[in-house]
Chains A and B, each alone.
Chain A
Amino acid sequence: AQSVTQLDSQVPVFEEAPVELRCNYSSSVSVYLFWYVQYPNQGLQLLLKYLSGSTLVESINGFEAEFNKSQTSFHLRKPSVHISDTAEYFCAVIRSGGSYIPTFGRGTSLIVHP
């Protein structure tokens, strides 16, 4: 079985500062990796995903994540955050060849201060 660890439950940061949200996973087989974002009182939205190919993946709103197989990590980064990025961020992993049911991390609350 796979597991996901989001090391930080809360990350406060000032507007226009860079941010990194950490995600580590464990799995004995190949995985697919995802980041979802959840704004208050809404459902989750897919932010970006890694399935194969380039280990660096980007979203349309400036976030990027890099798959690091040796460190079993998929950290999310943004060079300059906005107030509107304040939200809960969930890392998720799916084991390839399985039932494709994701294992989610417990989430990281990103709080952007003006």
Chain B
Amino acid sequence: SQTIHQWPATLVQPVGSPLSLECTVEGTSNPNLYWYRQAAGRGLQLLFYSVGIGQISSEVPQNLSASRPQDRQFILSSKKLLLSDSGFYLCAWRGNRGYEQYFGPGTRLTVT
């Protein structure tokens, strides 16, 4: 069966520090991968998605970036965090034959 992992689960970082969040998927190949951010009391904001290795599409301009160095690995990064980057970050995958997305457990990021 397929599983999706995210780490770390929680993170507290000072403003201006770098960020690296990792997401990996097991049990499937060539998944479509997504990064979302969920701010307190708000819905989901799509940040990036990827249909293959090295293929990244950005949905919103910001100081975040994403990379997909391997088929089932998706990384969210920042060189300098802002206070507004605080939130709950969710990684998700979708198979090539299905329409629904499957979400990881999330990373709670607090920028202080």
The answer to whether A100 touches B106, judged by C-beta atoms less than 8 angstroms apart, is no
- B53-76 interface with A by 8 A CB criterion: none
The answer, among A44, A46, A101, A105, for a CB contact under 8 Å with B90, is A44
CB distance from A22 to the nearest CB of B (A): 15
> Nearest A residue to B108 by beta-carbon distance?
A41
How many inter-chain contacts with C-beta < 8 Å in the A-B complex? 43
Which of chain B's residues have a CB closer than 8 A to the CB of A41? 88, 106, 108
B43/A106 in contact, CB under 8 A: yes
Report the count of interface residues on B (CB-CB < 8 A). Answer: 20
Give the nearest-CB partner of A104 in chain B: B44
Q: Is the CB of A42 within 8 A of B106?
A: yes
Please count how many residues in chain A sit with their CB below 8 Å of the partner chain's CB atoms.
20
Q: Measuring CB to CB, which residues of chain B are less than 8 angstroms from any residue of chain A?
A: 32, 34, 42-44, 46, 49, 88, 90, 92, 94, 99-106, 108
Closest 5 CB pairs of A and B: A43-B103, A106-B43, A44-B103, A104-B44, A46-B100
Q: Which residues of A contact B (CB under 8 A)?
A: 32, 34, 36, 41-46, 49, 51, 90, 94, 100-102, 104-107
